Amino acid sequence: MRRSMWLSSEEFLKRFTVALLGDEGIPLIALKMLEDENKSCPFVTPEGCMIYQDRPWSCRMYPVFPVSSKEEGFLIDENSSCLGMKEGKEWTIKEWKKNQGIDIYDKMNEAYKEITFHDYFSASGGGNKLDSGRANLLYKACYDLNEFKKFLFETKFFDIYDVEKEVIEKIKQDEEELLNFGYRWIRFNIFNEDTFRFKDKAMDKLLQAKRGKD
């Protein structure tokens, strides 16, 4: 969405979204609607959608929407003002998704759900809640990708962690790869999963520092 507006992720988030906190301390982002009677979308004009090429999953799926975030199944808004409802053409969900270019959005949403529904937050996993530091880490890695990219490339991150050169090149150029890298970082930093490895020199320094404390 921000690419259609030629904005950085930070600027887009400030201007067009509201940040909320879920029960587990997970930061959630909601689109800031206009302060008019209908709470209109800020990107819809009389000429159409300003960000049509980069419209989000919910807009592509409309007037179809999921039963819930945890269950398979879809409903249709029969009262929708969507002009496509008047065409008389019948679609399967699979056909509609293909027509609207939703496959990549589904793929990224599934990866995001694996983070937000992780066992770390479940009762069996300890019922953990993110503190402000971890919530900020997740916010940058999932939403504020420009800032996350700065964190990676303007610090000693790649001197400390062993990351393949081809991966580094991909996340320089491709935001989808950068987002997947962010999910990987969350798994390492919050869930303590083995998704990163320290470089040998960095590990030696950590061991020396630990011995010094002991």
pLDDT digits (tens, 9 = 90+) for 105-118: 999 999 999 999 99
pLDDT at 179: 96
Joined tokens for residue 208:
């020396």
Map residue 47 onto helix, strand or coil: coil
- Using only the alpha carbons of the chain, give its radius of gyration: 21
Q: What are the domain boundaries of the chain?
A: 1-55, 130-213
Nearest 10 degrees: CA dihedral of 181, 182, 186, 189? Answer: 70
CA 124 – CA 198 distance, rounded (Å): 29
pLDDT at 76: 76
Instruction: Return the closest-CA partner of residue 202 out of 148, 156, 154.
Output: 156
pLDDT digits (tens, 9 = 90+) for 158-192: 999 999 999 999 999 999 999 999 999 999 999 99
Joined tokens for residue 199:
């470089």
- Band (pLDDT 50/70/90 cuts) for residue 46 is confident
Q: Which residue has the higher pLDDT, 201 or 148?
A: 148
pLDDT at 12: 94
pLDDT digits (tens, 9 = 90+) for 141-163: 999 999 999 999 999 999 999 99
Joined tokens for residue 66:
């999921």
Lowest-pLDDT range, 19-28, 32-41, 78-87, 144-153? 78-87
Joined tokens for residue 134:
């971890």
116: left (phi over 0), alpha (psi -120 to 50) or beta: alpha
Q: Is 87 exposed, middle or buried (0-12, 13-18, 19+ CB in 10 A)?
A: exposed
The residue type found at 132 is: S
pLDDT at 70: 64
Residue carrying structure tokens 């997970």 = 26
pLDDT digits (tens, 9 = 90+) for 59-108: 888 888 777 666 677 877 766 666 555 667 788 888 888 988 999 999 99
CA 148 – CA 178 distance, rounded (Å): 9
Instruction: Return the closest-CA partner of residue 94 out of 74, 114, 123.
Output: 74
Residue 124 has pLDDT above 70, yes or no: yes
Q: Is 30 exposed, middle or buried (0-12, 13-18, 19+ CB in 10 A)?
A: exposed
Lowest-pLDDT range, 24-38, 64-78, 190-204? 64-78
Question: Hey, how many other C-beta atoms are within 10 angstroms of the C-beta on 33?
Answer: 13
- Band (pLDDT 50/70/90 cuts) for residue 207 is low
pLDDT at 83: 59
pLDDT at 159: 92
